[in-house]
Structure 1
Amino acid sequence: MRKEKPSLAVSGSLKQTLIKTASTVALTVLLIALLRELLRILPWLDQVTGLHAGASILQTLAAGGVTQQQQMIAAGLMLLCFLVAVVLVRVGEKVFTRS
């Protein structure tokens, strides 16, 4: 029996999958980092604008100090960042395939 070489389409597909996976993970990490920075500047933003929207957001995210609720909120925000990253990668894929 002869061993057949894998077709270029299969290896190209694997390469694309690896690139998309790495891009999704990198974008997810970047979005989480940006979210953390945004949450960090909310008190300053409240001070500058005179509004209390940032304090309200932080109070909601604190979930009254209940650890389980805080963990659920954090997991939900991470999932949201992941979903946004998936959408961005798909849009980017469509843009690059048209070029």
Structure 2
Amino acid sequence: MGDHTQNALVYKAFCDENRLLIINQLSLGERCACDLLEKVSISQSTLSHHMGILLESGIVSARKVGKWTYYSLNPLGCLSAVDELRKIVSPKESTASSCVCE
């Protein structure tokens, strides 16, 4: 996956109120789906949709124990997201503008 594609997946993960609530809950530690359902007040299918996006972005990890899935923040995925955002917004040396608007 290219850098821009992965970055888009990460930013998509952060661009939804419910996913931000889920991330906030996971910042408190590992949670099972039933805990997240209770705290975020969404349906099971909606939670599954959001968890799929969060897992695909790499900022959340999952582990299965029997029929239960436990979710946690992926420290490496979170650090990578912060580093990429820093790269995007950091000032860069610019070359002379070739603007022809004048």
| TM-score, length basis structure 1 | 0.33
Q: Max radius of gyration: which structure?
A: 1
Between 1 and 2, higher relative CO (CA 8 Å, sep ≥ 6) is seen in 1
Larger strand fraction of residues: 2
Larger helix fraction of residues: 1
